[in-house]
Copies of this chain bind each other. A is one copy, B any other.
Amino acid sequence: MTVKWEKHFNEKTKKRLILSTIGEMMLLASQQNALSLTAGEPYDLLYPSEALKRAFEKALNGNLVSHFSYSNERTGMYSLRKWIKEWMAQEGLLPSWVTEDHIFITSGSQEGLSFLTELFLTEGQTILVESPTYPEALLTFTKEGAQFLEVPLEEDGPNIEAFRNLLAREKISFFYTIVNYQNPTGYSTCTSKKKAILELAKEHDFLIIEDDPYHHLYYDAPPEKSYLALAGDDDRVIYLGSFSKIVAPGLRTGWIIAPEEVMGQLLKLRVLSTLCLQTLHQEALFNFLTETDMPSYLNSLRHTYKQHRDAMVEGLDAYVKPLGLTFQIPKGGFFIWGRIPQIKDMHHFAKYCIVEEKVAFIPGDIFFADPSKGRDTIRFSFAKTPPELAIEGCKRLGSALKKYLNGQK
């Protein structure tokens, strides 16, 4: 081996290409055979496996040559884009200008984020993110050289006063927001805050990237109107949707909604990144969507996840809250976000929990652009944890916390 790779990688690779900590924590949890409250993934038993299998079989009985060729539908399969358009229109999420030609199918929302970053971000440019927010988004922005402003997120959305002050300080390219049942907080942005932020966006001419993968996973009332719909003819909102949380992440299918000018650029990126997408899974997904009673299917998902949430809340209330944990009950999504003020280094405690008590969660600091923040915060995922395991996990966490705090004294 003769190559000195450090001399060949570019600066981006050497300095800004960073491995996801969530992946590392999940790996450690699985190696240690710990009860994992880490994963932002759907519950395996909820995958509509048999229906998807039939949907694939139907696609395999269709035009095979078209599935095995390069796809001409570079922005994604027409029938699937049309279905998405009609579904979202029915739910009142779309302004009138959106047609199926404004929908671009992606290999999950992560590809959408990566493409939008490529189009809009310039090295050294500032963007505004929620504090805390989704780490793989932060890492994607970081790779392309973003500088971050963080707006504190409250239970009903970003703090508007802080938002305004940040804008007064610096010009931003876009605001990235997970609008409903946010990862990691579980918080949603209310309509009045969305309207205020849209006003700011017009005034300061920045874009809004509205990431909405948890939209249908509400356990009380459905979400409020999207930024996209509220903006109407002001086409500065780019929306990211995903089937990963409500059908199956293994299908790697999400979508971007954007105006024509952006679609033209996305098409070029598609060609230069993968030429085209596969179509078999798109047709299978379309078959599944059209042959499923979606409202009742989504209802049953919500029913189960609500039970998972309730059990974890019960467990945390019983075993961890008395030791100092504070948290809000999320109204949807996969996550409970909390704070244990006595813990000064949640990473250290997280590893202790995995090794000593075989229970795993995600330390909260990784959700902040500024890594010195949130050292006492913690994210639990209840998605993959049925009630009895949620209770057991909280029991183990309580026991670990007791020992750990005693050890600190």
Contact = CB atoms under 8 A, between A and B. Distances in A.
A269 B122 CA distance: 18
B56 A60 contact: yes
A274 interface: yes
A316 interface: no
Contacts of A60: 53, 56-57
Q: Could you say how many copies of this chain the assembly holds? A: 2
Nearest to A261: B5
Contact of A70 (B41, B56, B70, B173): B41
A292 to B, nearest CB: 15
Contacts of A114: 272-274
For the side of the interface on A, what is the size category? 35 or more
A11 B125 CA distance: 12
Nearest to A262: B5
Contacts of A281: 278, 280-281
A164 interface: no
A101 interface: no
B47 A108 contact: no
A275 B110 contact: yes
Contacts of A47: 64-65, 68-69
Interface in A1-59: 1-3, 5, 7-13, 17-20, 23, 41, 44, 47, 49, 52-53, 56-57
Interface of A: 1-3, 5, 7-13, 17-20, 23, 41, 44, 47, 49, 52-53, 56-57, 60, 64-71, 74, 97, 107-108, 110-111, 114, 118-122, 125, 136, 139-140, 143, 173, 202, 205, 207, 233-236, 244, 248-252, 259, 261-262, 265, 267-269, 271-281
6 contacts: A2-B235, A13-B118, A17-B119, A17-B265, A20-B268, A143-B272
